[in-house]
Structure 1
C-alpha cells in the first residue's frame, strides 16, 4: 500500500460516549482508574439467556438537536449524536463555522439502528426506521453536511475503516473536515447471536488471561474530527494527533474464526507501517483488539510476534475489560483512547488480566496504567470473516 498523495491528516476533535462515562476527560479518567461498565442488561429482555450481563450505558447524554427528532431515532443514533457534538466542540467548530466548510461523515457500525427492526420482530411498532444507513442519513440531515458521506459495515473493524476513508477524503481534497465515527448499541440480535456461538463470558471479559471464557458485549460511540494540517492551521485549531497510515486485509480463512497464524492481521499492521514509511521499531504502544476469546487473543499474539522482532515487542493493552466489545464502535473508541495516550504519556491497563496465557507471549500491560514515552501508536481491530484493520497515529510535534 502506497502513501496516498495529498495533505497530512490530523485529529483536531474527540468525542466519546461509553458505559464508563461520556466526554473524553471522564472517559479517560475512568479508564485509567480501572472502571468497568459491566451490569445486568435492561434495554431488552434477557430472561431466555444464560448470560445476562453487558456494558450498558446508564444514561445517554442529551443532544442539542431537536429532542423530538432525537427521541424518534434508534438507540445507536441517540448515542452517536452527542459524541459528534462533543468532537465538534473540542475541535472548535460551531454551527456558523461549520457552514463555511465541506464537512463529510464516515460511520462504522455492525448493527446500525437495529432496535426499530427488533421491535418489529417482536410485534411492536416504532416511529424510527432501522438499519446502518439510517444513522448517516439522519445525521447528514440534522447537521446539513455538505461533504462526502459513507457508511461502513465491516463488523468489529468498521470504526477503523471509517477513519481510513476519512483520511483518504482529506488527502484527496474532497473534504475540508471529516467526522469519523464508530457506533453500536446493545442489540438483542447480537446478544442472542454471540450466546448461540458460545462466545460470551458468564461474568467478565479477561483479555489474554489463561482463564478467559469469552467476550462481553458493550455499547458506545467514538468520534474523531479529521482535517488537513493546513486547514487546521488556517482556522487556528490545535492538531492533537497525526494519522500516518492504515492497513486492511482479509484472511478468507473461516466464516467466523480468524487465521490461527495471524497472517492477515500481520499484513494489515505491515501495510499501515509501509504507508507511514516507518519500521516496526518506531511503534511505542499497540492498542490490541483483545476480545477475551481463546482464538482471537492467541491469533493476535502470533501476529504481533510476526511483525515485531523478538525482544522489541512494544507494550500493549486491550480496553474491552472496561467497556466490553462495542462491535463497530470498538476501534473508533480505541482511536480516541490512543490520542489520549499520545497526549498524556499514559497507557491503560488490561482489566481483569491476572495470569497471562502462556501461549500469548507479548508484553500486555496489567495491574495498573503505565506511564511512558508514547509517540507512535498502532491500533488494531479485527472482525468476523477475517477482516483485519490497523491504523497508525503519532503525536503532534511542537512545530
Structure 2
C-alpha cells in the first residue's frame, strides 16, 4: 500500500498567520478571543469569538481574491504557505496532477446572509464555491471535493486526499478545512445555549460552553515515492483514518461514546498501530459538558490497558471552535508536535472535571516535552459524525515496516 506523507503546511487563525506564528502562540498560551466585529452582535447576549482581526492577504492573487468572500480570503494565503512549504510555486502547479479537498461547515456564507438581510448579492456563495475559487486560481487538474460534515469536515477532507493518492488519481493533494465567522452560525449556537460568556475551558469543572472561531488549516499530501522523487522534505506520515456516524442525535453526542470509540479503533487498525504506540491525542475538546465527558469516556475505553498514559490536549481555548477548519488546524498542530516533541497546553483549564479524568489519560495543562511517536487526532460533529486520523514521524510507523 502506498504511503502518504505530509510535505507542506499552512495555517491562518485568530492567533496569527503562518505555521510558526501559530505554533509559537499555542506554546505561549496566546488566545484570539475578542469582541466580534465582522458582523453586528448588538442583539446577542454573547458577543465574543476568536476572530481574525488582521487578515493576511494573498501573496499571489490578492486582486482576484479580494472579491471572492471572507472564507476564500482566509484559506488562500494558508494554501499558498503550504505549497511554498512543500517546495511548490502556487502559480506553477501544471507539472503535476494536483487535487483539492475542502472541508467546511458554512462555506462562503456571506451571500446567504445578505439575502436574509435584504441586501443585494453580487458574488456566488455556498460550500462548493471555495474549491471552485481555489481551483481557478491555482489551475488545478486533479480531483476536487467539498465536504460539509460540519465540525468533522477537515478530517474527512484529509481522508479523501489519502484515498485519491493511494488510488493513483493525483500526484499531489491539498487538504484543507476552513470556516469564517458568520452571523448564521453565531446565532445558531447561541440559540442552542452552547456558548461560553467568557472563554472556552475544555474539560474544566467550570466550563460553560464553546467559543466560536475562524481560520484555515492546510496540508500538502503526496505519496512518499512522489515526494522523494521531487526531493521534498517529508514532515510526517499520514498512517490512517476512521470515519463513522452513530446518528445518535441531531446535536448531542452519544453519551455511550460508541461511535467515537469506533472511529479511533478504525484509525488505529488502518495505521497498523496499537493504543500503546500513540504518544498523544489531539482532542475535539469543545468545552461543552456533553462533548467533553463523551470524548473522555471514548479515549479511556480505547486506551484502557495501554502500556503508557496518553497525553491529551485541546487547542480550542486558544483559537475557539473553528467548525470545519478545526481538525485541519489540529492536524497542523499534530505535525508540529511530532517535529518538536512539544505538546501545547489546554488553555484556561484549571480544575479538571472528575468525569473527564481516567488513569490512562493525562490532560495537558502546560507545555510538555516528550518524544512523539504518533498522534491520534479526533473531531466530532452534529448528527453523530465521528472522525479520527493518525499521524506519525517522517519515517512512518509500524505500517511502513
TM-score interval for Structure 1 and Structure 2 normalised by the shorter chain: over 0.9
Q: What does 1:290-309 correspond to in 2, within 5 Å?
A: 290-309=285-304
Q: What does 1:375-394 correspond to in 2, within 5 Å?
A: 375-394=373-392
Q: 1:329 aligns with which of 325, 328, 351?
A: 325
Distance 1:343 1:70 in 2: 32
Q: What does the per-residue CA deviation read over 1:78-107, in whole Å, with 9 as the maximum and x for residues that have no partner? A: 000000000000000014652110000000
Distance 2:119 2:81 in 1: 33
Q: What does the per-residue CA deviation read over 1:162-207, in whole Å, with 9 as the maximum and x for residues that have no partner? A: 0000000011110000000000000100000000000000100000
Shift, 1:365, TM fit: 3.6
Q: What does 1:212-227 correspond to in 2, within 5 Å?
A: 212-227=207-222
Contact 1:305/1:313 (<8 A) preserved:
no
Q: What does the per-residue CA deviation read over 1:221-261, in whole Å, with 9 as the maximum and x for residues that have no partner? A: 00000000000000000010000000011111111111101
Distance 1:250 1:66 in 2: 38
Shift in CA distance, 205/390, structure 1 to aligned 2, threshold 3 Å: same
Q: 1:397 aligns with which of 371, 395, 398?
A: 395
Distance 1:164 1:24 in 2: 21
Structure 2 unaligned spans of 5+: none
Shift in CA distance, 252/12, structure 1 to aligned 2, threshold 3 Å: same
* Corresponding residue of 1:99: 94
Distance 2:183 2:92 in 1: 40
* Corresponding residue of 1:348: 344
Task: Using structure 1 for the length normalisation, give the TM-score.
Answer: 0.97
Shift, 1:62, TM fit: 1.0
Local SS of the residue matching 2:160: helix
* Corresponding residue of 1:11: 6
Local SS of the residue matching 2:106: coil
Aligned residues: 394
* Corresponding residue of 2:156: 161
Distance 1:81 1:48 in 2: 32
Contact 1:65/1:142 (<8 A) preserved:
no
Structure 1 vs Structure 2 CA RMSD: 1.3
Shift, 1:367, TM fit: 3.7
Structure 1 unaligned spans of 5+: 1-5
Shift in CA distance, 238/55, structure 1 to aligned 2, threshold 3 Å: same
- Aligned pair 1:170/2:165, yes or no? yes
Local SS of the residue matching 1:359: helix
Shift, 1:127, TM fit: 2.7
Shift, 1:310, TM fit: 4.3
Shift in CA distance, 236/157, structure 1 to aligned 2, threshold 3 Å: same
Shift, 1:59, TM fit: 1.3
Distance 2:74 2:225 in 1: 31
* Corresponding residue of 2:270: 275
- Aligned pair 1:80/2:75, yes or no? yes
Distance 2:7 2:122 in 1: 35
Local SS of the residue matching 1:124: coil
Contact 2:115/2:121 (<8 A) preserved:
yes
> Once structures 1 and 2 are overlaid, which stretch shifts more, 92-101 or 129-138?
92-101
* Corresponding residue of 2:256: 261
- Aligned pair 1:51/2:42, yes or no? no
Contact 2:241/2:390 (<8 A) preserved:
yes
Shift in CA distance, 72/198, structure 1 to aligned 2, threshold 3 Å: same
